[in-house]
Amino acid sequence: MSPLRNRPVLKMNGAGNKILVLDLRGSGLVVSPAEARAIGAGEGLGYDQLMVLHDADAPGVDAAMKIFNIDGSLSRACGNGTRCVAWALSRDGRDRVVLDSDAGRLEVARAGAWAFTADMGAPRPGWREIPLARAQADMDAVDIAYPGHAEIGRPSAVSMGNPHAIWFVDNVEGYDLATNGPLLERDPLFPERANISLAQVVAPDRIRLKVWERGAGLTLACGTAACATLVAAARRGLAGRKATLMLPGGELVIEWRARDDHVLMTGPVEFEAEIPLHPALFEGLPA
């Protein structure tokens, strides 16, 4: 039987992005992909990302994070989940937490009772960093077309610790992302798959965004996609270096800071429930 049985998880959301936080610090336990899938299949436990906390290896770091998508795959970054983790760790009154992730070190500061600002680090613009399968002459017009809609041109590609492709369109609801998202996510151009976004620039400081998340599907919000979209829009001259990103689940304020190239994401968190992991979730899995 899995040693995860009966351990509590926090059910949360960040701008609608469904998040579970599982704190395993001090236990030495790890989560397998099969266990991550089993948790997500539990009643009331469906998630976009599962944030698993482990003991940090470095002084001054509050926790190390492993991030699972609902299909059991790993993600190196999740901005909305990172804010939820910050809330969970700040219940002792602190206003700042430091986290280690597979995408690097992240600092998160309180921006309100239920809001946090996460420093997501610098974008990774190179084709090898994203990664793409082959070199590109222009990272704002990479070699892939949106199925059936050649008129919207080619997307920008950016990594915010995970790969993103962003098409700028006149109306995010005018193109079938539910059908085309899974096809584009797994296009051979993306050896590690990719997050697929449609972005509509409403004003230089307001962008509407719809996202198909790698390993999760259509989501109400995706923090790293919002960060990648602001970077791509600024590179193209479509927006300034700070804008409000409007997603189906809520709004995120993104700033691409000129002095150090870091991307800051400010947005809300919401706590929904604390739920123990029922032993039946793990029946049939290796002990």
Give me the active site residues, please.
78, 222
- Residue 156's closest CA among 146, 169, 144, 142? 142
Q: How far is CA 69 from the centre of its chain?
A: 10
Let me know if 9 is exposed, middle or buried by CB neighbors in 10 A (0-12, 13-18, 19+): buried
Composition of the chain by helix, strand, coil, percent to 5: 20, 35, 45
In whole angstroms, give the CA distance from residue 189 to residue 272: 38
Provide the Cα torsion 39, 224, 187, 48; round to 10°.
20
Two structure tokens written together for 94: 């602190």
Q: What 8-state DSSP symbol labels residue 239?
A: S
Q: Give the type of residue at 95.
A: D
In whole angstroms, give the CA distance from residue 177 to residue 147: 10
- Residue 274's closest CA among 7, 3, 2, 1? 7
H helices within the chain, ranges in order? 33-40, 79-89, 177-185, 223-235
CB-based burial, 67-80: b 16+ in 10 Å, e otherwise: bbbbebbebbbbbb
For residues 12 and 272, the answer to whether their CB atoms sit within 8 Å is yes
